[in-house]
Amino acid sequence: MQWKQPVLHSSTGSRHLSALEAQGSDLASALFIDLEKEGVCPTVLTMTMAAHDSSARWRTFLTEAKEDDILLILSKQSEPYLDIPFHELQAFDPEFADDILQHPSQILDRGSQTLVEICRERGEDIDAILRVGELPRDSRRNLRDIGNLDVDRLRSVEVIITKISDIKPRIHIAIFNCEACGNTIEIKQKNERELVEPLRCPTDSGCGGTRNSKDNPTRFNLVINATRMVNNQWIEIQELPENVPSGAQPTRGTVLVEGDQVNKHLPGERIVANVMPVVRSEVKRNRKTPMFDIIHNLVSSEHESTPFNEIKITDDDKEKILEISRREDLLGLMQNSIAPSIFSTGVMHYVKRSLSLQLFGGVSRINQDKTRTRGDIHILLMGDPGVAKSQVLNYMSKISPRGKLASGGGVSGAGLTAAAVRDAFGDGRFALEAGVLPLSDRGLAAIDEFDKISEEDRKVMHPAMEQQEIYVAKGGITATLPSRCSILAAANPKDGRFSKRGPNQSVMRSYSETGLPAPLASRFDIIWMMRDEVKVEDDERIARYILDTKTQGVSETEIEEAISLDPSEAVKDEVYAYTVDGTEHLSLEFLRKYIAYAKRNHNPNLNADARAKILDYYTNERQSFGREDQMGDSEVIPITARALEALIRLTEAHARMHLRDTATGEDAKVALAVFRHWREESNIEDDSELYSGVSTSVRSNNTAIRNIVREICSSGDGTAKLTEIYNAASTRKITETAVDDVLQRMLVSGELFSPRNDIYQFAR
């Protein structure tokens, strides 16, 4: 059947409809039945009927349900717009609420017009706007799924804002003047890409002249002073990272924001955008094509102001979380839940324990002087190849809410912080695109191959880890981006494997083999050294565990071809899961819920007992190990205030894990045990070694050997023989190798020179 054009667009049809609105919807329905018999498209009929019937329904709803809000607008004590939750409309008139979802453009316009008319009837000429928000879940769509079936419908999408343009005024209602007769013509501009001009001057109020006509030509001039404009702003949105399918690029969209909603959003914010998708024809070489771009007109938005609100926690989940938090073996359960497919031996037990504390983290605080102390815990894993560092990082990035994974070999400084790119909105200027650290805000950034990051790009990590802010000055843009995230990094040795450390050697010797700068080590709260050691009793257990784990998995090909089910789906709704050796742990999905609930609802403070334990440890370490070196020149500082802050963060993390708002002495005991263990493993005697990379013994040797050479030179002819230096150094228990290293450095620096073999003299 060939549908006719809707006759309701004629002036006669419009007059009939206006009259029918006043008489009620029954007469209007009768007219539509007659029009349907004439062959008018049912979709057009339904849309037109809903639009023309809406004014009366809006008036009834606004006067009965929103009287107080209207009085507030009339008193000018609030902004001239009215927010209406969708559930209120649905409770008042379900059929009308459904019409709004299906035909939002006409009905919402009529709602705003009705609100303006009500204000005028009460003596106030206010250009008020009506906005509908909090749409039902069945109208929620993924950004990548919005297509032709959603065009001109009201939909909601969960997105991240990535870019924002400057404000630009756009003509909303254009007033044109006919040059021939001076008649004014009003045209509403609905397309932001095209200015619609009149073709003919109306015959009933004007001369009937036509543009580009030979018989009765005329021109139409835009009257700027009388034209109504509205502020516009373009926003680029991107789907949430957790909604991106594996291997796919995040879908992006362009949103047009108008009126009071401009400058209400910021890059990096997570929002639920209630939008009306519209299509605009693509233009190539000044010609329109049959392909269309989708532009989303923003109706309203809800900000995700609560951290981790994207993880939905039901009442049943809450009961199970509270029940698990009361378990006595909670820390062990959390430790087993970290990468359960990795068998724990040796130091891996303690690594997993510290990682479980890192997931919960401490409490970030703002002080009275506006300084900020971070609560996120940073951990560095150094290890030989094959000790499962990458697998641990991959798991941590998945389990942490808002976690991101990056590899140092494939990420630049711009990829970590922010990149300056040409603006996608057409004005040609630069705009910032957030990198891994800003996108991990309030989450965890796992950076593998940390040692492969270039030296220039590595410098951006210092403020990102300590101040948790990234300072960007690129492409004429100066900005500060938040990076309030925990950092879990993994580093490999430059020579393939770490050299064997002596029993008293510091972990900083292994750290120097990664090629990372020494000051960066001080930014980490915990540094673990993971070695691939041959142990007969452990090797067989590890091999059996790996074989059982690998053979228990399901073929990826069978899952993709729907022959077999994904094993992760089987435990998706479960609280507990079990490893191949029967060890109990929390399922990945439930652990994410537990972490999100803890970080959202609990921000513990240290009580007097916890403070006393941390204070005692700090003061005892400072006083009992503080000593002078062999020459009495410098004092050894075994622990600094930065380590004290790390202890506070670990204590708060343990209390948050147990869903406590007060950190007790028991929490402090666990934090001290974790901290002591990594310090004992690291053999760091002097905290300055974390900043300089120079151990206490090396620094002491430098001073001692320099003084020995000076004494020998001053007592003789101004020169010192190598044998004399060896003899004097051996009395102070300094090896010949250490003497050779110091002498070589002094020669390179120019402090010494050698006039003859094995003879040294100070440069004058």
Q: What is the pLDDT of residues 447-462, one digit of tens each?
A: 888 888 877 777 777 7
Where are the strands (E) in 384-426, listed by range?
Answer: 403-407, 418-422
Which residue has better confidence, 631 or 387?
A: 387
Mean pLDDT of all residues in 684-699: 59
Claim to verify: residue 321 and residue 297 sit in the same structural domain: no
Examine residue 151 and state whether it is found in any structural domain, yes or no.
no
Give the pLDDT band of residue 690 (cuts 50, 70, 90). Answer: low
* Lowest-pLDDT range of 13-17, 179-183, 239-243, 273-277: 13-17
Best-predicted range by mean pLDDT among 279-293, 486-500, 560-574, 646-660?
A: 646-660
- Is the pLDDT reported for residue 660 higher than 90? yes
Output the pLDDT for position 574: 82
Give the pLDDT band of residue 648 (cuts 50, 70, 90). Answer: very high
Claim to verify: residue 376 and residue 421 sit in the same structural domain: yes
Q: Report d(CA 465, CA 484) in Å as an integer.
A: 8
- Is the pLDDT reported for residue 664 higher than 90? yes
Which residue has better confidence, 530 or 631?
A: 530
598 contact partners, CB below 8 Å, separation of at least 6: 360, 656, 657, 659
Q: Report d(CA 444, CA 141) in Å as an integer.
A: 27
3-state secondary structure of 162: strand
Q: Report d(CA 472, CA 480) in Å as an integer.
A: 6
CATH number of the domain encompassing residue 702? 1.10.10
- Is the pLDDT reported for residue 36 higher than 60? no
By residue range, what is the domain housing residue 223?
158-303
Claim to verify: residue 722 and residue 634 sit in the same structural domain: no
Output the pLDDT for position 720: 85
- Is the pLDDT reported for residue 29 higher than 60? no
Read off φ and ψ for residue 214, nearest 5 degrees. -80, -30
- Is the pLDDT reported for residue 655 higher than 60? yes
Closest Cα partner for 380 from 487, 454, 516, 457? 487
- Give the count of beta carbons closer than 10 Å to the beta carbon of residue 631: 16
| H/E segment holding residue 11 | helix 11-23
Claim to verify: residue 701 and residue 585 sit in the same structural domain: no
Q: Which one of 130, 146, 179 terminates a domain?
A: 130
Closest Cα partner for 331 from 691, 18, 653? 653
Examine residue 72 and state whether it is found in any structural domain, yes or no.
yes
What CA–CA distances, in Å, run from 658 to 325, 338, 356, 685?
5, 17, 12, 33
- Is the pLDDT reported for residue 714 higher than 70? yes
How many structural domains compose the chain?
4
Examine residue 309 and state whether it is found in any structural domain, yes or no.
no
Mean pLDDT of all residues in 658-672: 92
CATH number of the domain encompassing residue 282? 2.40.50.140
Claim to verify: residue 337 and residue 298 sit in the same structural domain: no
DSSP state, 764? -
127 conformational bin, left if phi > 0, alpha if psi -120 to 50, beta if neither: beta
Output the pLDDT for position 662: 94
Mean pLDDT of all residues in 302-314: 67
Claim to verify: residue 278 and residue 322 sit in the same structural domain: no
Output the pLDDT for position 630: 42
- Is the pLDDT reported for residue 377 higher than 50? yes
Number of H helices, E strands in the chain: 27, 28
Give the pLDDT band of residue 669 (cuts 50, 70, 90). Answer: very high
* Lowest-pLDDT range of 147-151, 320-324, 694-698: 694-698
What percent of the chain lies above the pLDDT cut of 90?
A: 9
Output the pLDDT for position 627: 46
Query: What amino acid occupies position 645?
Result: E
Which residue has better confidence, 226 or 326?
A: 326
Examine residue 144 and state whether it is found in any structural domain, yes or no.
no
Mean pLDDT of all residues in 546-566: 75
Mean pLDDT of all residues in 430-437: 72
Claim to verify: residue 647 and residue 718 sit in the same structural domain: no
Give the pLDDT band of residue 667 (cuts 50, 70, 90). Answer: very high
DSSP state, 495? T
Give the pLDDT band of residue 764 (cuts 50, 70, 90). Answer: low
CATH number of the domain encompassing residue 76? 3.30.1640.10
Output the pLDDT for position 547: 81
Q: Report d(CA 483, CA 447) in Å as an integer.
A: 14
Average pLDDT, the chain: 78
* Lowest-pLDDT range of 223-232, 321-330, 402-411, 573-582: 402-411
Output the pLDDT for position 307: 55
Cα angle for residues 528, 532, 536 (degrees, 5° grid) = 125
Output the pLDDT for position 369: 83
Claim to verify: residue 104 and residue 187 sit in the same structural domain: no
Read off φ and ψ for residue 360, nearest 5 degrees. -85, -40
Cα angle for residues 311, 314, 317 (degrees, 5° grid) = 95
- Is the pLDDT reported for residue 162 higher than 50? yes
User: Quick one: tokens of 614?
Assistant: 């941390």
Claim to verify: residue 514 and residue 646 sit in the same structural domain: yes
- For 637-645, the CB contacts below 8 A with 24+ separation are 637/686, 637/687, 637/688, 638/684, 638/685, 638/686, 638/687, 639/687, 640/687, 642/522, 642/687, 643/618, 643/675, 643/687, 644/614, 644/618, 645/373
Give the number of residues written for the chain: 764
Give the pLDDT band of residue 5 (cuts 50, 70, 90). Answer: very low
Output the pLDDT for position 636: 58
Q: How far is CA 316 from the centre of its chain?
A: 28
* Lowest-pLDDT range of 59-63, 375-379, 748-752: 748-752
Output the pLDDT for position 633: 45
Best-predicted range by mean pLDDT among 54-58, 293-297, 319-323, 734-738?
A: 319-323
Which residue has better confidence, 155 or 621?
A: 155
- Is the pLDDT reported for residue 8 higher than 60? no
Give the pLDDT band of residue 334 (cuts 50, 70, 90). Answer: very high
Mean pLDDT of all residues in 469-495: 80
Claim to verify: residue 718 and residue 748 sit in the same structural domain: yes
- Is the pLDDT reported for residue 610 higher than 90? yes
Examine residue 245 and state whether it is found in any structural domain, yes or no.
yes
- Is the pLDDT reported for residue 501 higher than 60? yes
Half-sphere exposure of 452 (CA within 13 A, CB side): 13
Best-predicted range by mean pLDDT among 107-111, 190-194, 217-221?
A: 107-111
Claim to verify: residue 611 and residue 717 sit in the same structural domain: no
Q: Which residue has the tokens 């909105």?
A: 425
Mean pLDDT of all residues in 271-275: 89
Contact between residue 270 and residue 248 where contact means Cβ atoms under 8 Å apart: no
- Is the pLDDT reported for residue 6 higher than 70? no
- Is the pLDDT reported for residue 691 higher than 60? no
Contact between residue 163 and residue 233 where contact means Cβ atoms under 8 Å apart: no
Q: Report d(CA 737, CA 742) in Å as an integer.
A: 9
- Is the pLDDT reported for residue 221 higher than 60? yes
Claim to verify: residue 350 and residue 499 sit in the same structural domain: yes
Output the pLDDT for position 301: 87
Chain segment 726-759, per-residue pLDDT in tens: 888 888 777 887 788 888 878 887 788 788 888 8
Give the pLDDT band of residue 611 (cuts 50, 70, 90). Answer: very high
Output the pLDDT for position 697: 61
339 conformational bin, left if phi > 0, alpha if psi -120 to 50, beta if neither: left
Output the pLDDT for position 687: 59
3-state secondary structure of 374: coil
Mean pLDDT of all residues in 58-84: 81
CATH number of the domain encompassing residue 437? 3.40.50.300
What percent of the chain lies above the pLDDT cut of 70?
A: 81
Best-predicted range by mean pLDDT among 45-49, 348-352, 572-576, 631-635?
A: 348-352
Output the pLDDT for position 652: 94
- Is the pLDDT reported for residue 57 higher than 90? no
Output the pLDDT for position 656: 94
| Bridge pairing between strands 584-586 and 576-578 | antiparallel
Output the pLDDT for position 410: 64
Closest Cα partner for 295 from 275, 272, 277? 277
- R_g over Cα of the chain: 36
Examine residue 700 and state whether it is found in any structural domain, yes or no.
yes
- Is the pLDDT reported for residue 3 higher than 50? no
- Is the pLDDT reported for residue 30 higher than 50? no
Mean pLDDT of all residues in 25-38: 47
Output the pLDDT for position 26: 47
Which residue has better confidence, 212 or 223?
A: 223
Examine residue 275 and state whether it is found in any structural domain, yes or no.
yes
Output the pLDDT for position 100: 87
Mean pLDDT of all residues in 287-305: 81
Examine residue 146 and state whether it is found in any structural domain, yes or no.
no
